[in-house]
């Protein structure tokens, strides 16, 4: 697939990602464009925000301003711990690890929701996998820094995916759903994490988790555990991939070879392809208001970054 048209309308930070992740050009050949990308004021803003990683209280996992979402955005573009702020963020994550090897975020669950009402380092199954994912993508030693936490989180899995689960510091807190249900978002990010680990990419638990997401799509009219719907809003094209929407879910599933000929997955892909314009671009149908300074933070014109995300999905299917 040629990417000339996409490069022509992209900012430097996205050009770097296209050259690296779509055209698979060597990093050593991209030094100049990497410097230009890091000079972008929005990228500088993201780097500044993640350097003090635990300054923002994690109370809403959908918040695109959370440092973990910005860190994963930067890592996915192709930046690494050679960038001082990314190194600082990774070091900050490593400072807060429980006895099971699971990394913690600063959060506060009110007493009436079963928490302590105090700021405390803890974890939920809807944030802990993202911290492990960031460390894996940052290239840290898997056996020392990632595997213990992954093994513990896997012990929480069930046949119907991953539940709403929290560390002891958060008391009896649980989201708005049946205890026996899976949490679709926790299942999504655990499936994402497993896709990045060679030892688990073709495992039974990965296959089971992927199938749970596909089953939720297949039964989207009747099944929406913990109030996670795959309805009209879910099917709107949106970026970045930091929550539960069709681009995020299809992006994770596309990393698994055994999913790529599943009719349910192909139906997702066809839904995304149907939104492509005559020039091959995609326009956001939903946007985070906090991200209005980015090309994907509006719904009026094609978004190079959203198009890039869709192209990455399609490239995996070729």
| C-alpha closest to that of 159 among 200, 212, 82 | 212
Residues in the chain: 318
Q: Which residues neighbour 272 within 8 Å (Cβ) at sequence distance 6 or greater?
A: 237, 246, 247, 250, 282, 310, 313
pLDDT recorded at residue 60? 85
Query: Which DSSP category does 158 fall into?
Result: B
pLDDT recorded at residue 1? 61
Instruction: Print pLDDT tens along the chain (318 aa).
Output: 669 899 999 999 999 999 999 999 999 999 999 999 999 999 999 999 999 999 888 888 899 999 999 999 999 999 999 999 999 999 999 999 999 999 999 987 777 666 677 788 999 999 999 999 999 999 999 999 999 999 999 999 999 999 999 988 877 777 777 888 999 999 999 999 999 999 999 999 999 999 999 999 999 999 998 889 999 999 999 999 999 999 999 999 999 999 999 999 999 999 999 999 999 999 999 999 999 999 999 999 999 999 999 999 999 998
89 by Cβ neighbours in 10 Å (0-12 / 13-18 / 19+) ranks as buried
Q: H or E segment at 120?
A: strand 120-122
Q: Which residues neighbour 120 within 8 Å (Cβ) at sequence distance 6 or greater?
A: 106, 107, 108, 169, 170
Tokens of 129: 């996998």
- 73 three-state secondary structure: helix
Q: Which residues neighbour 244 within 8 Å (Cβ) at sequence distance 6 or greater?
A: 184, 185, 188, 228, 234
pLDDT recorded at residue 226? 86
Which string of b and e fits 291-316 if b means at least 16 CB within 10 Å? beebbbbeeeebbbbbbbbbbbbeee
The rounded distance, in Å, linking the Cα atoms of 183 and 23 is: 36
The rounded distance, in Å, linking the Cα atoms of 279 and 114 is: 51
pLDDT recorded at residue 163? 94
Q: How far apart are the first and last CA of the chain?
A: 9
Tokens of 226: 């913990």
Tokens of 93: 């994550």
147 by Cβ neighbours in 10 Å (0-12 / 13-18 / 19+) ranks as middle
């Amino acid at each position: 697939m040629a990417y000339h048209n996409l490069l022509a309308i992209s900012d430097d930070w996205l050009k770097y990602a296209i050259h690296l992740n779509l055209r698979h050009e060597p990093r050593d050949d991209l030094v100049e464009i990497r410097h230009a990308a890091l000079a972008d004021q929005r990228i500088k803003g993201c780097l500044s925000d993640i350097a003090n990683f635990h300054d923002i209280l994690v109370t809403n996992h959908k918040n695109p301003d959370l440092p973990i979402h910005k860190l994963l955005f930067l890592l996915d573009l192709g930046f690494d711990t050679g960038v001082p702020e990314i190194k600082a963020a990774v070091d900050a994550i490593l400072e807060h690890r429980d006895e099971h090897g699971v990394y913690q975020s600063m959060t506060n669950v009110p007493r009436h929701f079963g928490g302590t009402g105090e700021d405390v380092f803890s974890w939920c199954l809807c944030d802990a996998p993202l911290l492990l994912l960031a460390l894996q993508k940052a290239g840290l030693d898997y056996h020392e820094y990632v595997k213990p936490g992954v093994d513990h989180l896997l012990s929480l899995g069930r046949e119907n995916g991953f539940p709403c689960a929290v560390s002891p510091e958060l008391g009896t807190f649980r989201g708005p759903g049946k205890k026996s249900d899976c949490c679709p978002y926790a299942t999504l990010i655990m499936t994402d994490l497993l896709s990045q680990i060679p030892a688990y990419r073709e495992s039974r638990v990965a296959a089971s988790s992927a199938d749970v997401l596909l089953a939720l799509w297949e039964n989207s009219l009747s099944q929406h555990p913990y109030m996670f719907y795959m309805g009209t809003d879910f099917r709107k094209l949106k970026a970045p991939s930091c929550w539960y929407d069709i681009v995020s879910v299809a992006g994770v599933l596309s990393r698994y070879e055994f999913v790529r000929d599943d009719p349910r997955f192909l139906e997702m892909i066809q839904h995304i392809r149907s939104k492509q314009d005559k020039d091959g671009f995609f326009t956001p149908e939903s946007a985070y208001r906090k991200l209005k300074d980015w090309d994907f933070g509006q719904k009026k014109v094609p978004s190079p970054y959203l198009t890039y995300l869709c192209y990455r999905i399609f490239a995996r299917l070729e």
